[in-house]
Amino acid sequence: MSTVYNLKREVEKPVRFTGGHRLCAGCGAGIVVSGVLRALKREERAVVVNATSCLEVSTFMYPYTAYMDSYIHSAFENSAATCSGVEAAYNALKRRGKVDGTVKFITFGGDGGTYDIGLQSLSGAMDRGHDMVYVCYDNEAYMNTGIQRSSSTPHFARTTTTPVGTVGQGKKQNKKDLTEILVAHHIPYAAQTAPLGSFKDLHTKSYKAIYTKGPCFLNVLSPCPRGWDYPTEKLAEIARLAVDTCVWPLYEVEEGMWRLTYIPKKKLPVEDFLRPQGRFRHMFQPGNEWMIEEAQAYVDQKWERLLERTGV
């Protein structure tokens, strides 16, 4: 499946995710949601399911919502099950002639509700083959409840449950590779992307996920100014550094075929991504050079493995 990206055409579509929500300035989540929903065709109807998260509490306060499409707030642990149930119910009604037309089913969840609490629900929905898209906006911690670590939190990152001090130096474990876990479900489409300046990569992958038949998954990096501790105006810069250092590579797996969608002209050192963020400040203190070296070695290993898989 291919689509030609035209910025002028896309921004002229009716807005599906309105302004006036309460997301923080410099937050990636709103950009992610807006970008994904903009990939819907103009005439398309959609049902949006949203796990409890920063996104949910900031865009929905009954009876008001920032979504122009049908919206369901679900619990942390069962958003994928909720979406799959709605998809199955709609198809049952359609077979009985009680509804007609097509509807797209899209779930948004943070890393806490996706990598951790909702993983069993997500795995089940993907395994059953529902025609839906699950979008994880990955801000790498439980930001809504106090910036606690999740399995998506990177190695050495400072959170409120992985503090920096005499006992510990941030999170002790590496980040879980959820995209690979979803690829292992043999779904027709899975991809990683990020809210970058052009939005072409985000749009193209969102379109593919929405209009590929069957269960599809998008993992979208979503920087958080509070948890990552960067100035709000640095959102796009932080996302770009994550991609250009290969901390967050952009790739897709379509019907089992791995493909890189972006290769940096010059692969930047990992410290360029770490340095602007307060959560990694301790890594640059004298005597902690080994942390940066270890982080670089891990990223290099993952990047080389991805190059092999994609045949680059």
- Structure confidence at residue 171 (pLDDT): 98
Residue 35, number of CB atoms within 10 A of its CB: 23
Whether residue 4 has pLDDT greater than 80:
no
- Structure confidence at residue 185 (pLDDT): 98
pTM reported for the whole predicted model: 0.97
Q: What's the mean pLDDT in 72-80?
A: 97
One-letter amino acid at 303 equals W
- Structure confidence at residue 6 (pLDDT): 86
CB 89 within 8 A of CB 81: no
Least Cα distance to 69 among 112, 26, 108 occurs for 108
* Chain segment 15-38, per-residue pLDDT in tens: 999 998 999 999 999 999 999 999
- Structure confidence at residue 251 (pLDDT): 98
- Structure confidence at residue 197 (pLDDT): 73
Is the CA virtual torsion 6, 110, 189, 243 positive or negative?
positive
Give the C-alpha separation, 184 to 213, whole Å: 18
Least Cα distance to 49 among 169, 147, 175, 136 occurs for 136
Least Cα distance to 190 among 258, 124, 120 occurs for 258
Average pLDDT score over the chain: 96
pLDDT band at 292 (very low <50, low <70, confident <90, very high): very high
* Chain segment 85-125, per-residue pLDDT in tens: 999 999 999 999 999 999 999 999 999 999 999 999 999 99
Residue 61, number of CB atoms within 10 A of its CB: 12
Whether residue 210 has pLDDT greater than 60:
yes
Whether residue 3 has pLDDT greater than 90:
no
pLDDT band at 11 (very low <50, low <70, confident <90, very high): confident
CB 224 within 8 A of CB 28: yes
- Structure confidence at residue 1 (pLDDT): 54
* Chain segment 232-263, per-residue pLDDT in tens: 999 999 999 999 999 999 999 999 999 999 99
Give the C-alpha separation, 253 to 210, whole Å: 15
Sheet strand arrangement including 70-74: 70-74, 45-51, 103-110, 133-138, 216-221, 189-193, 251-254, 257-260
- Structure confidence at residue 41 (pLDDT): 95
Is the CA virtual torsion 203, 6, 239, 55 positive or negative?
negative
Q: Which residues contact 117 (CB under 8 A, 6 or more apart)?
A: 76, 77
Whether residue 2 has pLDDT greater than 70:
no
* Domain 7-310 CATH superfamily: Thiamin diphosphate (ThDP)-binding fold, Pyr/PP domains (3.40.50.970)
Beta bridge pairs of residue 60: 65
pLDDT band at 174 (very low <50, low <70, confident <90, very high): very high
Whether residue 8 has pLDDT greater than 90:
no
DSSP state of 115: I
- Structure confidence at residue 130 (pLDDT): 98
